[in-house]
């Protein structure tokens, strides 16, 4: 019997429906799981809708959703996080490695926007702005005596690429007020602070994070140092909290030979993905040293582990942070996003260097105090290592897992136990502000000063006593008299940074860097 073509689609639809029905009857557990999952989702949706429609007080349901998402993620691991819309743009800019703006470093000084330094070759420097200038107006918007937050100022000074902003500026050194048009442009956020020679054969590269453009910045610096005669490269990832895995992998590839293992990742389904070095590598034969400390995490640990496990070089410093989890970011459609842990990574020897995270709060992220009190930051033998987590490098050297990368050569904190507070203070923003204010009192005095003349000025001037007074006014009571040399050294370095450039700053600061000197002595 022939079927009328008109009824054919109807018959097919009925057949599919019957098939689905029979399938659900034959596999009720699948149906129940599906319904259960949907029920949980519906429960959340119904609750939020109920609150929104019926709750007696007015409230922002977006904040309720944020709390719900955070509450869920808090049950997972410390690195699965929710990034609200208000923070996502800044995070993305940092990892992208640029933003659009006028190109100045600034801070609020006596309730005015003071330029610490224009970014080299940026829009403001091209427009003639100088360190010490005060920005009074952006177009017709008054910026002084307004008690504006830094985030608010950023949003005012940022804008579309190619857009103009008319700045009204006061230049204290010349006692004049003037207007200048600045065309906003792309401002790079450097992830490689510096790449320079520290002696005739040793190059030094400092990476502050692993962003989209980090590999390109690093490769440029590495090539430059090799051309300058470097046969030994120091890679400094101290205080580098990580970033993109891919950037660390590409950097490791420049030092490892073809098909050497860089990193392995394992997901929920135990699927293992191995990343191997390629044939290309700019520095496959020279000497390599990696510097780490207790704040080196994630991608920094991947790089250090790859160099260490392949016996490509030595790792110097102190036990790293211990983050061996890989996140994937998922946009939530409203400008916010979730970063969810989707895999664990393993170094070439098979180590998982993720530390325990039963405590997911501040104690997990701020472990410095715990390590400080245990003495681990001063003595290698104070570091607790599980004997069951022993692994071997390519050449059979013993390495350990379970809580960070252990260095091959331990380098303690620079100060004696109990005296490290001053070093941390001298490396903080407090010194930046003090030096700015000292320069601001008489910028003409420093216009033609040389690096040699600057050192003499710092030592013979009254800067040490001025700094003591500055600290006392801020309620910081340190006995600096027996640490005068250290204070003068760090003050000198910051004067160099603000008057000259980062390269001159690092040339000075690395001379007294214990970890760098330890590398150079080997």
Catalytic residue among 298, 300, 349, 352: 298
**Alpha-carbon gap, residue 226 to 254, rounded angstroms:** 12
298 among known catalytic residues = yes
Q: At what angle do helices 61-73 and 28-54 cross, to 10 degrees?
A: 140
> Which residue has 């993720």 as its token pair?
354
CB atoms within 10 A of CB 33: 11
Read off the tokens for 77. Answer: 């691991």
Burial class (CB in 10 A: 0-12, 13-18, 19+), 361: exposed
206 among known catalytic residues = no
Burial 141-167 (b: 16+ CB within 10 A, else e): eebbeeebeeeebeebbbbeeeeebeb
**Alpha-carbon gap, residue 162 to 520, rounded angstroms:** 47
**Alpha-carbon gap, residue 139 to 181, rounded angstroms:** 9
Q: Are 490 and 512 in contact (CB under 8 A)?
A: no
Taking every pair of Cα atoms in the chain, the longest distance, rounded to a whole number of angstroms, is: 111
**Alpha-carbon gap, residue 31 to 29, rounded angstroms:** 5
**Alpha-carbon gap, residue 452 to 356, rounded angstroms:** 50
Strands 112-118 and 164-171: unpaired
**Cβ neighbours for 408, distance < 8 A, ≥ 6 positions apart:** 308, 314, 315, 316, 397
Catalytic residue among 253, 309, 408, 513: 309
State which H helix or E strand residue 289 sits in.
strand 287-292
**Alpha-carbon gap, residue 138 to 462, rounded angstroms:** 37
323 among known catalytic residues = yes
Burial class (CB in 10 A: 0-12, 13-18, 19+), 16: exposed
**Alpha-carbon gap, residue 83 to 212, rounded angstroms:** 19
CB atoms within 10 A of CB 308: 27
Catalytic residues, by residue number, are: 298, 309, 323
């Amino acid at each position: 019997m022939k079927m009328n073509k008109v009824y054919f689609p109807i018959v097919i639809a009925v057949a599919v429906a019957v098939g689905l029905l029979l399938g659900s009857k034959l596999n009720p557990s699948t149906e129940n799981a599906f319904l259960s999952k949907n029920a949980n989702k519906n429960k959340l949706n119904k609750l939020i809708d109920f609150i929104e429609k019926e709750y007696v007080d007015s409230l922002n349901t977006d904040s309720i959703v944020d709390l719900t998402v955070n509450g869920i993620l808090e049950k997972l691991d410390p690195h699965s996080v929710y990034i609200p819309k208000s923070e996502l743009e800044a995070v993305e800019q940092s990892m992208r490695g640029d933003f659009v703006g006028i190109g100045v470093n600034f801070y609020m000084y006596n309730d005015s926007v003071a330029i610490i330094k224009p970014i080299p070759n940026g829009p403001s420097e091209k427009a003639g702005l100088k360190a010490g200038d005060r920005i009074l107006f952006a177009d017709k918007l008054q910026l002084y005596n307004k008690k504006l937050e830094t985030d608010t100022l950023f949003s005012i000074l940022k804008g579309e690429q190619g857009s103009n902003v008319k700045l009204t500026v006061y230049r204290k050194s010349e006692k004049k007020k003037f207007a200048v048009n600045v065309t906003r442009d792309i401002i790079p956020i450097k992830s490689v602070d510096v790449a320079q020679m520290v002696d005739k054969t040793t190059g030094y590269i400092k990476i502050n994070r692993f962003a989209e453009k980090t590999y390109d910045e690093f490769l440029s610096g590495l090539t430059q140092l090799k051309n300058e005669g470097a046969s030994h490269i120091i890679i400094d990832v101290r205080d580098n909290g990580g970033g993109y895995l891919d950037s660390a992998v590409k950097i490791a590839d420049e030092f490892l030979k073809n098909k050497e293992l860089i990193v392995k990742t394992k997901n929920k389904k135990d699927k293992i993905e191995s990343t191997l070095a390629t044939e290309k590598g700019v520095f496959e034969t020279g000497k390599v040293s990696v510097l780490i400390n207790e704040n080196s995490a994630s991608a920094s640990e991947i790089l250090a582990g790859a160099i260490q496990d392949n016996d490509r070089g030595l790792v110097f410093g102190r036990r790293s942070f211990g983050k061996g989890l890989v996140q994937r970011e998922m946009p939530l459609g409203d400008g916010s996003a979730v970063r969810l842990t989707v895999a664990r990574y393993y170094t070439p020897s098979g180590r998982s260097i993720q530390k325990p995270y039963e405590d997911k709060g501040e104690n997990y992220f701020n472990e410095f105090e715990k390590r400080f009190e245990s003495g681990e930051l001063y003595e290698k033998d104070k570091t607790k290592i599980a004997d069951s987590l022993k692994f071997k490098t390519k050449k059979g050297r013993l390495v350990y897992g379970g809580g960070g990368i252990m260095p091959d050569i331990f380098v303690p904190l620079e100060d004696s136990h109990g005296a490290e507070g001053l070093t941390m203070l001298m490396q903080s923003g407090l010194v930046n502000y003090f030096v700015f204010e000292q320069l601001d009192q008489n910028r003409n005095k420093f216009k033609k000063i040389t690096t040699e003349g600057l050192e003499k000025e710092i030592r013979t001037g009254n800067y040490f006593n001025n700094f003591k007074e500055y600290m006392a006014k801020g309620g910081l009571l340190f006995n600096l008299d027996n640490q005068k040399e250290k204070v003068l050294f760090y003050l000198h370095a910051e004067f160099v940074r603000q008057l000259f450039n980062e390269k001159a700053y690092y040339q000075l600061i690395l001379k007294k860097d214990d970890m760098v000197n330890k590398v150079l002595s080997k």
